[in-house]
Amino acid sequence: MSADPAIRRDIPDATVARLPEYLRALSDVADRGISSVSSEELAQAAGVRSTQLRKDLSHLGSYGIRGVGYEVEHLALEISRALGLTQDWPVAIVGMGNLGRALAAYSGFATGGFHVAAVFDEDAALAGALVADLPISPMTDLALLVRERGITIGVIATPAASAQSVCNALVEAGVRSLLNFAPLVLVVPDDVDVRRVDLSTELHVLAFHEQRKSLPPELGVAR
Amino acid sequence: MSADPAIRRDIPDATVARLPEYLRALSDVADRGISSVSSEELAQAAGVRSTQLRKDLSHLGSYGIRGVGYEVEHLALEISRALGLTQDWPVAIVGMGNLGRALAAYSGFATGGFHVAAVFDEDAALAGALVADLPISPMTDLALLVRERGITIGVIATPAASAQSVCNALVEAGVRSLLNFAPLVLVVPDDVDVRRVDLSTELHVLAFHEQRKSLPPELGVAR
DNA sequence: CAGTGTGAACCACTTCACAGCC
DNA sequence: GGCTGTGAAGTGGTTCACACTG
């Protein structure tokens, strides 16, 4: 029997991408003092359809009560467990420009599952300066601090020009999950996961849709 | 005949999401003084497979030369045109905390297609302070400035608590494309596009994969 | 020939419809 | 009775295989 809820197998990527949103929606609901929600209500708060939500949750297990809904606390715990948020992940941020500082100060790190364990900058002159109560470390200390503090997730907030070498240093030090804010595609070994966040990509996509809206209403394209 | 290249019909969302990356890869290639690339080379630079790239480009038109490849300048122009980057979009940023300031200073705005036309903050005490050479405006001026400066794209960089009301103000003023950095799902009319960027979602997804890696090699899940 | 452009096959994800259960 | 959980159908996107052409 694989009744052990800790044994999770092949959750679709699309589902994983939505679980954080469900978690956030649940925390909203909990803040309003509600202890049980239907898939319909929760889906609304998360911006998806209720069938989508139920199908997604079915990949984790059967945590709802038929005819009633989901127990808020319990579901939140199960999603946290599935995402691996029952432990606290130490994160390193490299690049202390405007963005890096904003990220270091970001409260999202504090709430649930993550903390900034070290911050770095290639400019050795910045070493020692405090950012969000942490001293900026020089890149030469990277391998040491990654090991000492058990860092497994790295955030790259450097200019594009140095992003690949920073990435190499992180991977070399043993980091296998990266969040890349630099506008380029990083080359990494197969066992390293990279997620990219690119403001300019997002703006481009918006521009595309905006352009569509301002075009004369061409036949066929009904929107 | 719809030979007019300006007439673009139903480009898949997934393709639109990749076009910005192709544009960036092309600009890299151009910087290296290369004037013609094959789909294979360009795909590598963009982190996709060459068949994917060719299929994507086929939605825009037939801009390659069989047996040769793509003319860099020309392809870049056609992608820019498809994305609507041949005009300059004025953007408003609301919320001048750490993130908002970082975004205002972000050079990605300057390069190609966008410029920061106004910045706002709900804290009236900040009004007049300069951020990236622009004075912070109070929210009461929003409707006026949006109209005067032709702003069609809004960036929300406020805390979650005020994001929905800021969103309402932007929509009310006529903005129909939004980039939301606040951790919540905004409620908007059907004709408004919202894209969300959420750091904590990205971290959660990384944590999920990281957890997978550190689990004992369960049968079946080969990664 | 070398490399593009594309119908066809395949695959992943979403939505539907409803059986199952509290 | 009402809402969850899920096989089945539908949809959109990716990959393949190859015809086509400069």
Question: What distance in Å separates the CA atoms of residue A101 and residue A129, rounded to the nearest whole number?
Answer: 12
- Taking each continuous run of H as one helix and of E as one strand, the counts in chain A are 9, 10
Determine contact, residues B155/A199, Cβ cutoff 8 Å.
no
Which of A28-32, A85-89, A116-120, B5-9 has the weakest average pLDDT? Answer: B5-9
Per-residue pLDDT tens digits for B124-169: 999 999 999 999 999 999 999 999 999 999 999 999 999 999 999 9
Angle at B178 between CA B130 and CA B114, to 5 degrees: 55
Beta bridge partners of A136: A119
| Residue of B204, B214, B219 for testing the chain A interface, max A β-carbons within 10 Å | B204
- A197 and B197 in contact by Cβ < 8 A? yes
Question: What distance in Å separates the CA atoms of residue B49 and residue B39, rounded to the nearest whole number?
Answer: 9
What pLDDT was estimated at residue A219?
42
- Can you give the distance from the CA of residue B59 to the C1' of nucleotide C12 in angstroms? 22
pTM: 0.93
Which residues, other chains included, contact A219 with Cβ-Cβ below 8 Å and sequence gap of 6+?
Answer: none
> Using 50, 70 and 90 to split pLDDT, how confident is the model at B1?
very low
What pLDDT was estimated at residue A218?
53
Per-residue pLDDT tens digits for B40-61: 999 999 999 999 999 999 999 9
Residue type, A150: G
> Using 50, 70 and 90 to split pLDDT, how confident is the model at B102?
very high
- A89 and B203 in contact by Cβ < 8 A? yes
Per-residue pLDDT tens digits for B198-214: 999 999 999 999 999 88
What pLDDT was estimated at residue B110?
64
**What is the pLDDT averaged over residues A96-124?**
90
> Is the model's pLDDT at A66 over the cut of 60?
yes
Q: Considering only residues 137 to 176 of chain A, which have any Cβ-Cβ distance to chain B shorter than 8 Å?
A: 152-153, 176
> Using 50, 70 and 90 to split pLDDT, how confident is the model at B107?
confident
Compute the half-sphere exposure of residue A105: CA atoms within 13 Å on the CB side of its CA: 16
Question: What distance in Å separates the CA atoms of residue A185 and residue A188, rounded to the nearest whole number?
Answer: 9
- The dihedrals phi and psi of A71, each to the nearest 5 degrees, come to -80, 120
Structural domains of chain A ordered from first start: 13-82 (1.10.10.10), 89-201 (3.40.50.720)
- The dihedrals phi and psi of A172, each to the nearest 5 degrees, come to -60, -35
Determine contact, residues A180/A156, Cβ cutoff 8 Å.
yes
B99/A contact by beta carbon, under 8 A: yes
Question: What distance in Å separates the CA atoms of residue A159 and residue A156, rounded to the nearest whole number?
Answer: 9
A83/B contact by beta carbon, under 8 A: yes
What pLDDT was estimated at residue A110?
63
